[in-house]
Amino acid sequence: MDIAHLHFLVAQADPVARRTLAELLGHLGAGRVSDAADGIAALQALAPDSPVHIDVAIIALDLPGLDGLDLIGRLADTGTHARLIVTGAQPASLLFSVDTLAHARGIDLLGAIATPVDRARLEALLAHYTPLSPSARMARRPAAPRFTFQQIGIGLQQRQFEPFFQPKIELATGQVKGLEAFARWRHPEHGVLGPASFIDALQQHGRVDFLDWSMIELAVERCRWFQDRGIAVPISLNIAATTLAHPSFVRQMCACLARHQVAPDQVTFEMSESAVLTINPLFIERLIRLRMLGFGLAIDDYGTGHSNLQLLASIPFTELKIDRAFVDGASRRRPIGTVLRSFLSLAHSLDRMSVAVGVETRQDWDFLQDHGCTYAQGYHIADPMEAAAFPAWLADWRQFF
């Protein structure tokens, strides 16, 4: 990768280490390298209002003033435009924990390197440099407005909510194999809003089913609309376990499909790992009945709960959706890549489809393809879009593939 256009900051307490890293960056093609001898100077250089725009900062964990952990925390609070690389003399397992901490705080970390810094390892991390990912940019936006349960209810009654769709791509062929529906609120004053603005209030009042049924009806209606235009693409719907557990769920769902003339095999229900992995016989029976009718079932956010593998094998799910925390950056973060490979192997051994969520770079796409993942979703492919925009997007995608 050509790094001549990037501005680097080397934040190291040891002057020899600062000079060595600056020279190494120069050999790799860097044209602009600034330095900082302590955490305070590094924080000032990396602040959003700093007169100097830093693209990549290489920071040591043992910085005086503010050590590397404190610096990461302060940058998470104040924000920064830079991508970070952490260095330290600690074991690889501990450096990986620092990597995990940085990502949990919303810092876009390229990786962590043990000292002394190896040229090949540094070059490999820099090869993954891209501008901030869409998810990282979203994390740094101002907090979304929040609304009361009553305000949300009015919005639902006035049909201001609608499903946006994100394509699911088969990695082996590049073909679009499905669309996941995401709830969006077209608010008359605030524009298009995501779940952060409304899901908490619905959960607190125990009425997520209001939103679920609105999305089910509209998404199935859009599915019919796609089919009428020669686009037979199955849809996936996120629903709460409480919605699915209602005694009339199957009957109401079949009635909805009949209204819109959509077959059950065109609909997959997605539920969180914690909701699906239960020993409640009535709930398991409900899942079996849905599968017998032809509906798909997906375990969403896999890896974020505490799975019982024996129970997992007994659930009649068709797809294992791997949480973005184990996908984004897997190609360059070795421990995350190891965990991801184990999830893909598990899905394969259970004869289930694997779906990687949060694919944001070509490198992660290639990693997933190389390791046998079935499907991919994420900003590298497309943002969630309104139904009317999908046919044109699909035509462009088919030209590309």
DSSP letters, 81-138, are S-EEEEEESS-HHHHHHHHHHHHHTT--EEEEEESSPPHHHHHHHHTT--SPPHHHHH
Residue-level pLDDT at 138:
54
As a whole number, the mean pLDDT across the chain is: 90
Answer positive or negative: Cα dihedral of 339, 343, 349, 350: positive
* CA-to-CA dists, residue 185 to 87, 164, 302, 358, angstroms: 43, 10, 26, 22
- Averaged pLDDT for residues 178-186: 98
pLDDT at 1: 64
Residue 133 has pLDDT above 60, yes or no: no
State the distance between the two ends of the chain, measured CA to CA, in whole angstroms: 25
- Among 181-185, 242-246, 275-279, 324-328, the range with the most confident prediction by mean pLDDT is 181-185
pLDDT tens, residue by residue, 282-335: 888 899 999 999 999 999 988 766 566 777 777 889 999 999 888 988 887 777
CB contact at 8 A, 244 and 317:
no
Q: What are phi and psi of 118, to 5 degrees?
A: -90, 135
Q: Would you give the DSSP letter of residue 31?
A: -
pLDDT in tens, 78-118: 888 899 999 999 988 788 888 878 877 878 888 888 999 98
pLDDT in tens, 357-371: 999 888 899 999 999
Q: What is the pLDDT of residue 145?
A: 92
Round to whole Å and give the CA distance between 357 and 325: 9
Q: Is the peptide bond before 116 cis (omega within 30 degrees of 0)?
A: yes
Residue identified by tokens 């609070």 is: 77
Reduced to 3 states (helix: H, G, I; strand: E, B; else coil), residue 295 is coil
Task: Give pLDDT, residue 142.
Answer: 58
Average pLDDT over residues 259-264: 98
Question: What does the pLDDT average to over 188-199?
Answer: 95
Per-residue CA distances from 299 to 94, 176, 240 (Å): 31, 20, 12
Confidence of residue 280 (pLDDT cuts 50, 70, 90): confident
* Size of the chain in residues: 401
All domains in the chain, ordered by first residue: 7-129 (3.40.50.2300), 142-400 (3.20.20.450)
Question: What share of the chain in percent tops pLDDT 90?
Answer: 67
Predicted local confidence at residue 65, as pLDDT: 92
What confidence tens digit (pLDDT) does each residue in 30-54 have? 989 999 999 999 999 999 888 889 9
pLDDT the model gives residue 307: 60
Q: List, for residues 142-172, the tens digit of each pLDDT value.
A: 568 999 999 999 999 999 999 999 999 999 9
Across the range 186-200, mean pLDDT stands at 95
Q: What is the pLDDT of residue 134?
A: 55
pLDDT of the residue at 273: 79
Instruction: Flag whether the pTM goes above 0.85.
Output: no
Give residue for tokens 């990282």: 136
Mean pLDDT of 182-198: 96
Alpha-carbon distance 67 to 13, whole Å?
10
pLDDT the model gives residue 41: 95
14 is written with which tokens? Answer: 């040891």
* pLDDT value of residue 93: 79
Min mean pLDDT across 49-53, 83-87, 195-199, 350-354 is at: 49-53
Distance between CA atoms of residues 139 and 384, nearest Å: 17
Give the per-residue pLDDT at 108: 80
pLDDT at 131: 62
